[in-house]
Amino acid sequence: MSLQLCALACIMSFSPSFAAPFGNGVCLQPSYYNGGNVNFGWDFMKGFESIKTVRIEIEPDHAAQAKGWIQQALSNGYHVVATYHKVAALGSNDPNELLAAGNWWASNYESLSTFGSFTVNLMNEWGDHTISASEYASAVSAAMALVRRAYSGPVILDAPGWGQESKTLADAVQSMSDKNVILSMHVYPGAWNQGRGHAVQSSDIDDIVGVGVPCVLGEFGGTDTGPVNVPEVVRYAKGKGCAVIGWAWNGDGGDMNMLSPSWATNPGAQSWSKSGYFDTIYNLLATSSELQLV
């Protein structure tokens, strides 16, 4: 092998096809607080350089406000993942709910992208642990056809089973014709992968990276106890080239907020401090050198 070919092979070995096209980051869920009129704390966020991406969850009746949320994020230099989030349909197997998401994107993407492009997350946590790969593929393909009327970029697909059924997602996407997608899992201490018959573990990441398309942990975190070693799974996913997005910068409604005060207590706060939960997320986003700066 020539030196040139050897160098190319080395570069390719560190540039997996399943590497996400954006950096690590944090989730935001503003829809439920003060009518969505919240202060995101962008200046405070900028002090933590490992946050490159923000995943903004959008309830379907907040499209007009979401335009402003996306504008703020883009103007502050962050890549945006925008997620259709319908709280009443989480874990639903109803394909009509997914079609509604597809229609929502077809109707709203042009307006939402006025200030710049972003990555579409088709729908947060559609499908339960029992849905088959063929059922998932059929419903997602129909919804994707609607999304493609307005958006040609990669679409993030959450694994069914609240983001945990890695094998179902992988099998479904392999049978789909539209593979301009990013596969996403959600990882928490109590996460269960029914298709694999065990609590979520690092080897489940191999299911989705094996498809050969980009992958991401769209959510990770947790303050409860459970059988899942979340830090181990996150580190393994990062080692496979997956971006990782922590839950949550703000908007959890409970104790999984990186900021104090949270929007639940003071949505218009003008100053913040790191909550006791902050390091749970940030230490898994950052490199060792970046941690030394915090």
pLDDT digits (tens, 9 = 90+) for 106-137: 999 999 999 999 999 999 999 999 999 999 99
What residue ranges do the domains of the chain occupy? 19-291
**Number of separate helices (H) and strands (E) present in the chain:** 11, 12
Mean residue pLDDT across the chain: 93
Q: Mean pLDDT by 10-residue block, N- to C-terminus, for the chain (294 residues)? A: 35 50 97 97 97 98 98 98 98 98 98 98 98 98 98 98 98 98 98 98 97 97 97 97 97 97 97 98 79 47
CA of 253: how far to CAs of 29, 178, 234, 294, in Å?
9, 36, 23, 26
Res 19: pLDDT: 78
CA of 198: how far to CAs of 126, 164, 165, 203, 204, in Å?
21, 11, 11, 11, 10
Res 254: pLDDT: 96
User: 118 near 112, Cβ under 8 Å?
Assistant: yes
Q: Which residues pair with 269 in a beta bridge?
A: none
Res 1: pLDDT: 39
User: Which CATH code fits 19-291?
Assistant: 3.20.20.80
pTM for the model stands at 0.93
Res 18: pLDDT: 62
Residue 44, amino acid: F
Res 20: pLDDT: 81
User: 37 near 269, Cβ under 8 Å?
Assistant: no
